[in-house]
A = this chain, B = another copy of it.
Amino acid sequence: MVDIAKPASDGPSGAEESGHDLIYGIDDVPPVAEGVALGLQHYLTMFGSTVAIPLILSGPLGISDDPEKLGWLIGTMFFVSGITTLLQTTLGNRLPIVQGGTFSFLTPAIAICGMASLKSAGFEVKMQTVQGAIIIGALAEIVIGYTGLVGRLRRFIGPITIAPTIALIGLALFPFGAPEAGKHWGIGGLTILLIILFSQVLRRRHRVFELFPVLLGIIGAWGVAAILTAAGVFEPGHPAYTSLDKLDAAPWVRVPYPLQWGMPQFEVAAIVGMLAGYAASMVESIGDYYACARMSGAPIPDGKTINKGIGMEGVGCLVAGVFGTGNGTTSYSENIGAIGLTRVGSRRVVQYGAALMIVLGAVAKFGALFTTIPQPIVGGMYCALFGVIAAVGLSNLQFVDLNSPRNLFILGFAFFMGLSLPAYVTANPLDLGESLGWLAGILNTLGSTGMAVGAVIAVVLDNVIPGTDAERGLTEWQKAG
């Protein structure tokens, strides 16, 4: 733990010595009340995506006009996220990473709902088919993780690969930042301003700002939105309108349970499509482990940590598939951004948050409460957090020789193609015909995932183009670990 009286601006030498500048490191245990509040803050950074995924899926699944089922689906997402986070932080890689739904499963899930054989099927059948694909994929991930296949690939991965990979996780989310916050710039911009004010300026004034910049930023902007709604400035339908009316309809308690939508169904086409989502998710997770370890003061993940982490993510996906979230679980980049912003990297804090998630997933009214936070506030938070993810990736460049034309080419090419290729693939998805549709599905999902593109390019070129260990940053990097 760092003395809060210590000025943050202690220059490169001071920071290099400790390598980190955290309030709570990975093994630190804050007092319970503070820990729960901090855990809630971690949780708040992810609720946007946790709610967004079921909302996006509701259309393809055919429940966009069924608020009850949609509410249950949201509750299930929270509930499973809590369970899988507890599993990962106790029996998995033990890094302070929140586990939650993943955008990389969205494309295959939507594709499954649109399959010719399910065109006229109801919600349950579609959901069961998605669940079946997720369950089989989960078994594959468990095998890949626990056999150590993933960890053995680690020696090909250096800071030149990790930097663009992690940075692209954050940068590729750019369509979700300003466009969301911009639904009302007054409220979205206020959220951004408050988070900057609390996390960067006022944190030296009072500890509360140092610990809860994101939470306070959201509450502040939400309060203003509530006042303006009460004053009649924001009317229903306005993007910054906030009202607790939705809560009346929701029951107090509904505990999600396994197979709640019926027995999963297994279809080959669905399963193969979903495997592409798994591949992207695994690459992303490994990047997250490095980022999270860097941010939380843990050692650089070794093969064993990665194997355990990926294996346990497979277990988490199995849980998600059996409960039926319509999605899997993966490591949450948002929460790594939160570590960077709040400088709280304590595993215990994440576990408190996970326990809260399980409770909140079962309290339908509480889940509904969070859905009343206006979109511009969620977007404002995204703007502040996603950039920090990108910067965490960039911080790996301190180990790399940035005057080497070789390194500059690899880094730049990986970055550029990580943005450029998805723009191409999204507009021109590969079509290999009926018989090779599965391969097209895999290539399209990977090609439209910026961080997967960046990772593949960087890892191939960094291992193929000649370069010394010192130039590639491997020497310094291992030392820092």
Contacts and interface: CB of A to CB of B under 8 A. Distances in A.
A21 B405 contact: yes
Given A10-B471, A179-B424, A170 B403 contact: no
A157 interface: no
B406 A200 contact: yes
A404 interface: yes
A16 B178 CA distance: 39
A401 interface: yes
B420 A178 contact: yes
Interface in A376-397: 383-384, 386-392, 394-395, 397
A70 interface: no
B388 A408 contact: yes
B409 A402 contact: no
A405 B10 CA distance: 11
A42 interface: no
A466 to B, nearest CB: 6
Interface stretch (A249-257, A322-330, A411-419): A411-419
A408 B386 contact: no
B343 A405 contact: yes
A428 interface: yes
Interface in A433-481: 461, 465-468, 470-471, 476
A395 B11 CA distance: 19
A82 interface: no
A10 B179 CA distance: 45
A12 B386 contact: no
Interface in A163-182: 167, 170-171, 173-179, 181-182
B196 A461 contact: yes
B12 A420 contact: no
A117 interface: no
Given A421-B178, A423-B179, A465-B201, A11 B401 contact: yes
Nearest to A339: B405
A387 B402 contact: no
Contact of A409 (B387, B406, B416): B387
A19 B403 contact: yes
Interface size class, chain A: 35 or more
B408 A465 contact: no
B470 A174 contact: no
Contacts of A391: 407-409, 411-412, 415
B179 A420 contact: yes
A170 B11 contact: no
Contact of A470 (B11, B167, B419): B11
A392 B9 CA distance: 26
A94 interface: no
B403 A16 contact: yes
Contacts of A340: 405, 408-409, 412
A86 B348 CA distance: 64
Given A403-B16, A408-B392, A428-B182, A420 B174 contact: yes
Which interface residue of A16, A200, A387 has the most chain B CB atoms within 10 A? Answer: A387
A387 B12 contact: no
A341 interface: yes
Interface in A149-201: 167, 170-171, 173-179, 181-182, 196, 199-201
Nearest to A469: B11
A398 interface: yes
Contact of A383 (B179, B389, B417): B417
Contacts of A199: 409
28 contacts: A8-B404, A8-B406, A9-B467, A12-B470, A15-B403, A19-B403, A20-B403, A170-B415, A173-B416, A174-B423, A175-B420, A178-B423, A178-B425, A196-B413, A200-B409, A200-B465, A201-B465, A341-B405, A383-B413, A386-B412, A386-B416, A387-B411, A387-B413, A387-B415, A391-B408, A395-B402, A397-B398, A419-B419
Please give me the 4 A-B residue pairs with the lowest Cβ-Cβ distance, nearest first.
Answer: A391-B412, A387-B412, A387-B416, A11-B470
